[in-house]
Amino acid sequence: MKVIIFFVVFFAVMFLMPDSLVGSFVDHHIHISGDGEEAMDNFEFTVIAAKAAISTVAALVALWLYRKRKA
């Protein structure tokens, strides 16, 4: 059950979180190096990595709350 909850929350946050929210944070706070297309590829990868990290944290919090409720 815990694995299902993790994947549901992970994918829900990953796909429902707007790219513009994370993209603006990355644009303002993280330095992206490269030139032209390479910089855009680095930017997009950084946005995807940040969304995955945020989704993982949200899923782990959901699992922690589930365990706390069961105890």
Q: Residue 19: what are its φ and ψ, rounded to 5°?
A: -65, -30
Closest-CA residue to 58 (of 23, 19, 6): 6
Local confidence band at 40 (pLDDT 50, 70, 90 cut-offs): very high
Give tens-digit pLDDT for 4-35: 999 999 999 999 999 999 999 999 999 998 89
Give tens-digit pLDDT for 54-71: 999 999 999 999 999 877
pLDDT at 31: 92
**Encoding tokens for residue 6?**
């993790």
